Structure 1
Amino acid sequence: MTKTLASRRPIAGRSGPSATAFSASVRLAGLADLDALVALENASFVDERASRRSIRYSLRSPTMSVLAAVIEDGEGEVLVGAATLERRRGGKIARLASIAVASSRSGQGLGGLLLDAAEAEARRHGCTRLRLEARTGNHGAIRLYERYGYTYYATKDDYYQDGTAALCYEKAVASV
Structure 2
Amino acid sequence: MSNVVSALQHASFVDGIADVREMGLRGMITLRGDLSDKKLIKAVKAIAGAMPEQRMIAVKGEAGAAWMSPDELLLMVPHGDALSTVKSLNASLKGTHFLAANVSDARAVFEVSGPCAREVMAKLAPVDFAPVAFEMGMFRRTRMAQVPAAFWMSGENSFTIVCFRSVGEYMFDLLSVAAQNGSEVNAL
TM-score normalized by the length of structure 2: 0.25
Give the number of the structure whose alpha-carbon radius of gyration is greater.
Answer: 2
Structure with higher RCO (Cα < 8 A, 6+ apart)? 2
